[in-house]
Amino acid sequence: MRKEEKNQIIDSLVEQLNKYNNFYLTDISGLNVEVTNKLRRICFKRNVELQVVKNTLLKKAMEKTNKDFATLFETLEGSTSIMFSDIANEPAKLIKEFRKGKIQTKPIIKGAFVEETCFIGDQNLDILVNIKSKNELIGDIIGLLQSPAKNVIGALLSGGQKIAGIVKTLSEKE
CATH label of the domain that carries residue 21: 3.30.70.1730
- Tell me the HSE value of 81 on the side-chain side, using a 13 A CA sphere: 22
Number of domains forming the structure of the chain: 2
Please give the pLDDT value at position 103: 61
What separation in angstroms does the CA of 169 have from each of 111, 158, 162?
70, 17, 11
Instruction: Judge contact between 109 and 121, C-beta under 8 A.
Output: yes
Please give the pLDDT value at position 174: 59
Structural domain that includes position 152: 133-174
26: helix, strand or coil? strand
Q: Does 141 share its domain with 163? A: yes
Mean pLDDT for back-to-back runs of 10 residues, the chain (174 residues):
89 91 91 89 92 92 89 91 91 89 79 89 89 82 80 67 71 72
Q: Does 156 share its domain with 102? A: no
Question: What DSSP string describes 48-106?
Answer: -EEEEE-HHHHHHHHHHSSS--GGGGGG--SSEEEEEESSTTHHHHHHHHHHTT-S--P
Instruction: Judge contact between 59 and 6, C-beta under 8 A.
Output: no
Please give the pLDDT value at position 54: 93
Q: Does 97 share its domain with 34? A: yes
Q: Does 139 share its domain with 114? A: no
